Amino acid sequence: MQRPSRQLARRRTLRKDPMKAVQFNVTIPGFILTRTLGRVSPAFVYGRPSTLGLVDRPAPAIPGSDWVRIEVLLCGICGSDLGNISYRSSPAMEPFGSFPAVLGHEILGRVVEVGSGVTHVHPGQRVVVDPMLHCEARGWTAESWCPSCTGGDHSTCEMSGEEGPLAVGEGGLARGLTIGYHRDLPGGWGEQIIAHRRQVFPVPDSIPDRIAVLAEPLSIGMHGVLRSGALQSPGPVLVIGSGTIAFATIWALRTLGFAGTLVAQAKRPHEVALARALGADETITPGDDARQTMVDTGARAYMPVIGDEVFVGGGFDTIFDCVGSRSSVDQALRCGAARGRIVMLGCAGQMRKLDLTFLWAKELRVEGYVGYGAETWDGRTRHTFDLTLERMADDPRALGDMVTHVFKLAQYRDALRAAFNHRRSKAVKVALQP
């Protein structure tokens, strides 16, 4: 791929007027302190010893005619944010971010300024943001776009580990897969952001802020459901998890018309109630409850000389793992029907002692999905966000119950405390309001 020449005119992307923002930096001392003290209490992850803090920094300025400046109204806290600031996520994705970075990629905002090349949104309009960066946003000309971006799958952009030719300050755009983990593009845990025009989607007036802020995680569920072919599943579907992505998956299945049996695994009463309100036919808890559900599908149980119980026959034709832990992956492998499909939507990373026997013994298919892209649905091809916003307006169901906590930006530590301690706080989605 030939690198195009840099733009001659350099544009600053930082304005002189300051803004408040929650900024995170990745450092070796920070890693050691956080991993060590974080075992004592999550408070050390977001407290003073950490490399996370509320700072004053220049507000961003649009770097070109195709960019939009946005005032943040609400921004969600994602499970990936918790994994990263606690340094518990796999280090494999570190080359595709740049720090220090203002976190936050679940963004609802109001347009403040548009470049001359932006015509689909205007100042004063509410918008949501696809945080994943396309080759075009990085400054590459169309003939130099990577295969993923050319094919409409920018969430796997193959230039995310490279500096882009877009002029930013004294250099090119820093490496990074997404807004929120990017040195030059602050995320929604700050008062303002900038985004390329293709990342910005107008919000219908009928969708209130508290639901609109869910557009990004709901789009992840939508993308996984559409790309996996789960709507055509011949048998029952199991959704493992009781976080936002699990609920997004349940909602996406139902709002897109899945009429089969949908089972959700959730632990606590408020999670069970939400899963049912979003469309689950049945809810189960891990352990004996889940085992009985397997037997109810026609599975036969066997006990090896050593190890855990195994099942043959019955099972679930499609399983969405929205957790990504060793135990959830193990359960998915054991509960899948022969030649069934396991869809990984949780941020699975490094795992120890994972038994993959049933991957080959049942001829299972394991698929992973990330982000959003060009979706074909109902005879049309469009961006995941466009379809998600349309369905949010037409089918809000219990979406308003998903955002359980909203905190001011200065209360970010309280917000993170609620998110980390969700069992006690009963948090599902926690959002910050700059």
| Residue 157 contacts residue 370 (beta carbons within 8 Å) | no
pLDDT beneath 70, residues of the chain: 1-16, 169
Kindly state the helix (H) or strand (E) to which residue 316 belongs, with its residue range. strand 316-321
**Whole-Å CA distances, 36 to 93, 255, 325:** 22, 44, 21
Superfamily of domain 14-213+402-433: Medium-chain alcohol dehydrogenases, catalytic domain (3.90.180.10)
Q: How many C-beta atoms lie closer than 10 Å to residue 312's C-beta?
A: 13
pLDDT at 16: 56
Locate CATH 3.40.50.720 in the chain.
217-368
**Whole-Å CA distances, 194 to 33, 90, 318, 331:** 32, 28, 38, 41
Q: Any residues with CB less than 8 A from the CB of 143 and at least 6 apart, and which?
A: none
pLDDT at 317: 97
On the 0-12 / 13-18 / 19+ scale of CB atoms within 10 A, 93 is middle
pLDDT at 41: 79
pLDDT at 262: 98
| Residue 317 contacts residue 235 (beta carbons within 8 Å) | yes
Give me the amino acid identity at 170: E
Q: Any residues with CB less than 8 A from the CB of 389 and at least 6 apart, and which?
A: 128, 201, 203, 204, 207, 215
- The gap from C-alpha 248 to its chain's centroid, in whole angstroms, comes to 10
pLDDT at 10: 36
Q: pLDDT tens digit string along 39-90?
A: 777 777 887 777 899 999 999 999 999 999 999 999 999 999 999 998 888 8
pLDDT at 88: 86
pLDDT at 399: 96
Q: Per this entry, what is the length of the chain? A: 434
pLDDT at 5: 38
pLDDT at 373: 96
pLDDT at 39: 76
Locate CATH 3.90.180.10 in the chain.
14-213+402-433
Cross-strand bridge partners of residue 264? 239, 283
pLDDT at 12: 44
Q: How many C-beta atoms lie closer than 10 Å to residue 102's C-beta?
A: 28
pLDDT at 159: 97
Rounded distance between C-alpha atoms, residue 25 and residue 33, angstroms: 13
Helix intervals (H) in 107-231: 135-138, 147-150, 209-212, 215-228
Give me the amino acid identity at 283: T
Phi, psi of 196 (to 5 degrees): -70, 150
| Residue 368 contacts residue 391 (beta carbons within 8 Å) | no
Rounded distance between C-alpha atoms, residue 422 and residue 401, angstroms: 15
The helix-helix angle for 269-278 and 244-255 (nearest 10°) equals 20
Which numeric CATH code is attached to 217-368? 3.40.50.720
| Residue 245 contacts residue 223 (beta carbons within 8 Å) | no
